[in-house]
Structure formats: structure tokens, C-alpha cells
Amino acid sequence: MPSPSAILRLACFAFLPLAVLGRTVRPYMLPRDANTISDGLIHPKQLAFSVNCLFSGHDYGHGNGVLEGFHYLMSRGGMPGNDPGTCGRISCSHDTGIHWCNEDKTKRKELESYQVIARAVMEIFQRKPCWQNFDDDNFMGAGIKGKALVDGEDWSVWVAREDCSAAPV
């Protein structure tokens, strides 16, 4: 079985427009809605992340829940927003929640797209220390949790086990 980063690269590749198949695609070049720039990709400033895999207070979620959440975020339109100092669950499947948080305690934050949140999810997914019982052969049975803080941007994303049938925490 391929590694989590190889699977995520394949998952991301499935969303890219056919026009980019012949060129190198960097991880920060994420799909964007139609009617944007001619190549269909966003080219934001390269984001830097600080990932905390020892995210306390939460149990490990499921790798397949993170992958489904990633797909969902890549296809979702709109601009997510959160009030000062709040978090919101934006995906939950296979009892694995994905939340994004406004770390700024004084003002509301709105992000340019859900795809930038997917980029943060990818940062957690690709860090082996964020996995529990991962043996390089089967990530589907392994657990994952972590928090990615976007350096200098006052927002973060966290992934962990969560009861998807319950109200968001």
C-alpha cells in the first residue's frame, strides 16, 4: 500500500484540470473554481505551517475520514469565516472531524477558499508523527490527529476523532 503522502498526491491529482497534466504541479497549486485564471489554479503565497502532532485532549481519527474530508474541501465553493477566537467543524466522516480556527482574538477572519484549509489538512496528513499504528503498508487502519497553525496568518486547522452524528465540539 502506498504511503499517506503518495495517496494524497493521487487524490489531489484527481481534482486538477486536464490542462496541467503535462507540467509539474506543486503542493500549493490547488484547484480553484471555474472563471478564475486561465490555468485553473491558484498561486497564493507559499504558506508555512507549524504542525503539532501531539495535539492533546483528542483521540486519533481515521485516515480515510481525513482523505474524504480533503476531497470535500477541495470541491467546496465559498469563503469560510469564523468569529474571533472561534473554531468551526467543516468536515466530518468516519468519525474524524476537520475544524478550522480563527486564532485572532479580536477580529473576524475570512479565508479565500476551502482549498487553503485542504492544504493545511495535507500538512497534517503527510507528517508521519501525526499517525498512530501506521506501518507503511496500510494507513486505512491507522489513526491520525494533529493541528496545523499557518505561520503569520492567525488561523489553524485541526484533525482528530469526533462523533460525526453529534453536534460539533
pLDDT, tens digit (0-9, with 9 covering 90-100), for 17-45: 333 333 333 333 334 333 333 344 444 55
Higher pLDDT, 103 or 152: 103
Q: What is the tally of structural domains in the chain?
A: 1
Residue 24 within any structural domain of the chain: no
Phi, psi of 7 (to 5 degrees): -65, -40
**What is the average per-residue pLDDT within 140-149?**
89
pLDDT band at 47 (very low <50, low <70, confident <90, very high): confident
Q: Is the pTM of this model over 0.85?
A: no
Residue 98 belongs to domain spanning = 47-161
The residues near 26 (Cβ < 8 Å, ≥ 6 apart) are none
Counting every residue, how long is the chain?
169
**How many other C-beta atoms lie within 10 A of the C-beta of residue 150?**
21
Cα 90 from Cα 121, distance rounded (Å): 12
CA distances from 142 to 86, 128, 130, 136, 139 (A): 29, 11, 10, 10, 5
pLDDT, tens digit (0-9, with 9 covering 90-100), for 62-121: 998 999 999 999 999 999 999 999 999 999 999 999 999 999 999 999 998 999 999 999
Q: Which helix (H) or strand (E) holds 150?
A: strand 146-150
Pair type for strands 61-62 and 81-82: unpaired
Q: Which three cell numbers stand for residue 124?
A: 497534517
